[in-house]
Amino acid sequence: MSGYAGTGQAKLLRNNQQAYLFQKDTNIVGKASVAFEIERVNRSYYPWGVSFQIYFTDVNGVPSDPGTFEVDIQTSDIDQDTQYCTISSWTGGTSLNAFFAGRIELPNFYAKYIRAFVNSITNSVNTTILITR
């Protein structure tokens, strides 16, 4: 299972890279994903954008209904568990397409660190969240 590695252990995500916050993970309610530090290519230029793709599948990789859920995207300028704050969320089925996939784009992103936090998922499904820089 992916997970928050702890203070000061965020991985670097460079421009034009992708990485998994969670990858086919189960039993992650109340858990934070691995955190990423967003690379600053041009230090004098703000903001830096990122996007997220979430999708839910069963054990065979078939799109599967997560039921009632809330998954938050959290940011911080300090890589400490207690410093992350929610900036955007996926909630319920309305934030997903017919195949149980959804996207969040943060075109104006200023914080140094980013991760996902799973507040709730009622059905037993695999959860995958991909971040793109």
Prediction pTM value: 0.91
pLDDT digit string, tens, across residues 101-127: 999 999 877 889 999 999 999 999 999
CATH number for the 11-132 domain, one of 1.10.10, 2.60.120, 3.40.50, 2.40.160? 2.60.120
DSSP β-bridge partners for residue 88? 73
pLDDT at residue 64 in the model: 96
The three state secondary structure string of the chain is: CCCCCCCCCCEEECCCCEEEEEEEECCCCCCECCCEEECCCCCCCCCEEEEEEEEEECCCCCECCCCCEEEEEEEECCCCHHHCEEEEEEECHHHCCCCCEEEEEEEEECCCEEEEEEEEECCCCEEEEEEEC
pLDDT at residue 42 in the model: 64
Identify the segments of the chain with pLDDT beneath 50: none
pLDDT at residue 15 in the model: 83
Query: Would you kindly state where each structural domain of the chain is located, as residue ranges?
Result: 11-132
Residue indicated by tokens 């967003």: 38
pLDDT at residue 52 in the model: 96
